[in-house]
Amino acid sequence: MEVMEQFNLQDFILRLSIQLPGFILAVSCHEAAHAFVALKFGDDTAKRQGRLTLNPTAHYTPFGTILFPLLGALMGGTMFGWARPVPIDARRFKNIRKSIFWVSFAGPMANIALSVISAFFYVLIVTKVSPTFYFYEPFLGMLKASITINCILAVFNLIPFPPLDGSKMVGSFLNYEAQRKFEEIQKYGFIFLLLLWFTNIFSYLLFPAIMMANGFIRLFYVMLS
């Protein structure tokens, strides 16, 4: 029994060390991207509040960035979670609808970009580095985790359900009355998250994320082989 408990603890620590770098970078870049694009469209609210940074301490939230991801790792799966939303003042935008769309899309786009970069280095190591290299397996594990985590975050955040980024992108095309009614379902956001997490629905949503991750890897295999 003691041996089994020790093995489980070691397995958890290994999983955590492999996935944590990719997860922290994913959520930090996601929020920093929102802040960066908002600044480009004229709103410096996030910058003034110190959110235009990759420092994870500026973005973390105890439940979404610490407890929930740890729960995923404890259950033997991929770390999943979220950071504190970046504050946006739409009144500072010249073109509100266009700005909201691109500011909202910036987060998932940052995750897609990180997934592409991780896939490139993953295939680069597989095809160009000897397996005898001491850090060969750890690097591949961290890069594969980064690919998967970023694809999952990108796909998840594109779901058009408030307060996810996808809902804001959809909302930018709605008139005021329709947008107000659409945002009313945000009060069910936490229930929606739990429903996804503890049912097979989330597995179906992961399918396009996994397909995306594998597609990036195959693409670079063709380019680098």
Residue 5 has a pLDDT of 47
- State the catalytic residue, choosing from 5, 31, 177, 184: 31
Residue 105 has a pLDDT of 97
Q: How confident is the model at residue 6 (pLDDT cuts 50, 70, 90)?
A: very low
| pTM for the full predicted model | 0.90
CB-CB neighbours of 68 under 10 Å = 17
CA-to-CA distance for 111 and 26, rounded, in angstroms?
A: 6
User: pLDDT for 31-67, tens place per residue?
Assistant: 999 999 999 999 999 999 999 999 999 999 999 999 9
User: Is pLDDT of 83 > 90?
Assistant: yes
Q: Which residue has the higher pLDDT, 73 or 30?
A: 30
Q: Which of 64-78, 112-126, 172-186 has the lowest mean pLDDT?
A: 172-186
Q: Any catalytic annotation for residue 31? A: yes
User: Is pLDDT of 3 > 60?
Assistant: no
Q: Which residue has the higher pLDDT, 225 or 57?
A: 57
Residue 71 has a pLDDT of 86
Residue 207 has a pLDDT of 83
User: pLDDT for 102-150, tens place per residue?
Assistant: 999 999 999 999 999 999 999 999 999 999 988 999 999 999 999 999 9
